[in-house]
Amino acid sequence: MKKLFTILFISVFVNSFAQQPVTEQPPQRMSNLQGLKIAYITKELDLSPAEAQKFWPVYYDYIDDLRAARQNNKDNDIASDEAVLGVKKRYLIEFKKILGSDARANKVFTIERDFAAEVKKELEKRQAKH
């Protein structure tokens, strides 16, 4: 029960910092997906409330920088990959300061990839039903 309360608290707290995503999906769907992503990352990283308070603003900056790196290099795959890698290296250091270890900091990237795979799998499953 305490963990559920913590996750709900963090979700509400983080949503106050959340920036509106630039996509073509309806805002309600993106909000739901963003909430699920927050809960997933929080659970997988086992973030304490103090860590979450520091982590989420940095994470959103990371997402913004990733988006900019991809956008600025959209015509050149190699340059895009290099720019994305540079962003990840820079934020790995920031995540380590907050999370305390290389393992937890690296896990951010793995968790992100796992969440995207889960979303993709769910979308494919739903499309197969139709």
pTM over 0.75: no
- Model pLDDT, residue 118: 93
CA distance 80 to 88: 12
- pLDDT tens per residue, range 100-113: 999 999 999 999 99
- Model pLDDT, residue 5: 42
H-only helix segments in the chain? 2-17, 27-45, 49-72, 77-99, 102-129
Average pLDDT for residues 87-116, to the nearest whole number? Answer: 96
How far is CA 118 from each of CA 40, 61, 112, 121, rounded to the nearest angstrom? 11, 23, 10, 5
